[in-house]
């Protein structure tokens, strides 16, 4: 018989960060639309997650009947949180998103490829010199950080501090069960907002051909974007631009090193790179959950979720659902054709704006890394970052 505790989505259970997938499987099999005692609902099957994300539900926490966990008791006037497009419903969402879509075009992303190749090769040169190093520090983190900083046109800032603040801010995307963390998130939000305001002031005086200048111009145009909204979109792009892709690269390489036959397959068939990245996204998803909020009773798989409820759609679980991906869903298979249906970038109106950029960075980084270093392997224990949502390694020692 199954212990009832095992049936609860419990990211605080021992071993969760090493392997959340066993818990997800139990939930999919036994309680796929779970009413959680902490006050939210947890949806774990592929078809349900996919339909939920496309159902046009709200993402605005003002629609919550109750505040399910500590963070939402934080100051409503907090800086960037709650004002970015990720947290807004139409018409605000439509207006903010279309503004960024204009500059984040497929063509603009594709044009970045030579730059990304150069950044990856420079990182690989440094790794070759060291011999043994940390994959996150040398490649997985600096690549997306440099790319989004350059796209936005960020001035040289205190990178270490910005990295620390972003790392705290993204905890707002997960269940926060203690007040101390909630306070730390609010403080990081305030500081990152202040830094971003300074950056915007600097950029006004130093306009250039970049995303930040384009967004500032939109603010000048009048009703399009107000000052606080501008700050919130910049923080979102900056943080989303590097806190996620780091996990795509690192989780992908981790999966390859644990599956040598797949690593060899990628080496022998470089044209598998695009599908391989889809499979990395599916197999160990860089963003494990996204949220929706009901404004009216909403039925998922025959269960009625009441209005005003916070619903967590578990992308990491949906991507492992045997009902959709087949009985070998728990295995890494780089040539799996269904991998392209993974839901790691969400779906519906909030589908990730940076998906094409993340895919390109992932493809270039992983395929060049494995081709350059035939002897690539672990040089010690990988340590997980302890994040419930943005899952990835904090330490990843490798030898090349
Ligand atoms: C939204 C995942 C990289 C910008 C999202 C969402 C997810 C996601 C799950 C919410 C979707 C939903 O609720 O339906 C990822 C993953 C990435 C990644 C897994 C890397 C592997 C990026 C990058 C950028 C970016 C590189 C920008 C440079 C955004 C933005 C949104 C978003 C602006 C908000 C879209 C909206 O609310 O309309 N992303 N993301 N993301 N992402 Fe990404």
Tell which atom from ligand 1 comes closest to the C-alpha of 151: 28
- Decide: 245 in ligand 1 pocket, CB within 6 A: yes
Residue in 210, 115, 104, 100 with CA at minimum distance from that of residue 155 = 210
Q: Is the pLDDT of residue 275 over 60?
A: yes
Tell which atom from ligand 1 comes closest to the C-alpha of 86: 37
ipTM > 0.85 (yes/no)? yes
- Decide: 99 in ligand 1 pocket, CB within 6 A: no
Superfamily (CATH) of domain 4-399: Cytochrome P450 (1.10.630.10)
Residue 170's Cβ-side half-sphere holds a number of Cα atoms within 13 Å equal to: 27
Q: What is the mean pLDDT of residues 3-27?
A: 88
Q: Is the pLDDT of residue 372 over 50?
A: yes
Number of other residues whose CB lies within 10 A of the CB of residue 191: 17
pTM of the entire structure? 0.95
- Decide: 277 in ligand 1 pocket, CB within 6 A: no
- Decide: 240 in ligand 1 pocket, CB within 6 A: yes
- Decide: 286 in ligand 1 pocket, CB within 6 A: yes
Q: What is the mean pLDDT of residues 338-356?
A: 97
In this prediction, residue 155 has a pLDDT band, given cuts at 50, 70 and 90, of confident
Give the SS3 label for residue 245.
Answer: helix
Q: Is the pLDDT of residue 47 over 90?
A: yes
Q: What is the mean pLDDT of residues 384-389?
A: 94
Q: Indicate which residue's Cα is closest to atom 31 of ligand 1.
A: 352
- Phi and psi at 154, nearest 5°, equal -70, 140
With pLDDT > 90 as the criterion, what percentage of the chain qualifies?
77
Euclidean distance between CA atoms 299 and 307, whole angstroms: 10
pLDDT attached to residue 183 = 87
Q: Is the pLDDT of residue 66 over 80?
A: no
* Cα 195 to ligand 1 centre (Å): 22
pLDDT attached to residue 73 = 45
Q: 204 near 40, Cβ under 8 Å? A: no
- Decide: 357 in ligand 1 pocket, CB within 6 A: yes
Tell which wins on pLDDT, 262 or 72: 262
pLDDT attached to residue 2 = 45
In this prediction, residue 180 has a pLDDT band, given cuts at 50, 70 and 90, of confident
């Amino acid at each position: 018989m199954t212990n009832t505790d095992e049936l609860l989505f419990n990211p605080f259970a021992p071993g969760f960060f090493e392997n959340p997938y066993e818990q997800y499987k139990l939930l999919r099999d036994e309680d796929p639309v779970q009413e959680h005692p902490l006050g939210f609902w947890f949806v774990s099957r592929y078809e349900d997650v996919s339909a939920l994300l496309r159902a046009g539900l709200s993402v605005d926490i003002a629609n919550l009947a109750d505040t399910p966990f500590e963070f939402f008791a934080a100051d409503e006037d907090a800086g960037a949180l709650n004002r970015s497009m990720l947290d807004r419903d139409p018409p605000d969402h439509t207006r903010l998103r279309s503004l960024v879509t204009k500059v984040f075009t497929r063509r603009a992303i594709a044009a970045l490829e030579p730059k990304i190749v150069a950044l990856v090769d420079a990182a690989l040169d440094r790794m070759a010199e060291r011999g043994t190093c940390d994959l996150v520090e040398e490649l997985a983190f600096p690549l997306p950080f440099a790319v989004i900083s350059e796209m936005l046109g960020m001035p040289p800032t205190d990178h270490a501090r910005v990295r620390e603040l972003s790392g705290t801010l993204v905890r707002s995307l997960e269940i926060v069960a203690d007040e101390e963390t909630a306070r730390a998130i609010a403080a990081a939000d305030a500081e990152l907002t202040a830094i971003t305001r300074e950056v915007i002031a600097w950029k006004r005086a130093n306009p250039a051909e970049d995303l930040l200048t384009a967004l500032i111009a939109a603010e000048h145009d009048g009703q399009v974007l107000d000052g606080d909204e501008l700050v919130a979109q910049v923080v979102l792009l900056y943080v989303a631009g590097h806190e996620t892709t780091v996990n795509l690269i690192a989780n992908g390489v981790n999966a390859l090193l644990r599956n040598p036959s797949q690593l060899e397959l990628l080496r022998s068939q470089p044209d598998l790179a695009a599908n391989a990245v889809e499979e990395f996204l599916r197999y160990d998803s860089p963003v494990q959950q996204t949220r929706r909020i009901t404004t009216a009773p909403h039925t998922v798989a025959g269960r009625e979720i009441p209005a005003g409820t916070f619903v967590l759609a578990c992308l990491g679980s949906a991507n492992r659902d045997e009902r959709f991906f087949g009985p070998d869903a728990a295995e890494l298979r780089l040539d799996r054709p269904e991998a392209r249906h993974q839901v790691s970038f969400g779906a519906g109106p909030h589908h990730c704006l940076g998906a094409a950029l993340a895919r390109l960075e992932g493809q270039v980084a992983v395929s060049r890394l494995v081709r350059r270093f035939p002897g690539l392997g672990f040089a010690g224990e990988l340590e997980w970052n302890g994040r419930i949502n943005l899952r990835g390694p904090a330490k990843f020692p490798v030898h090349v």
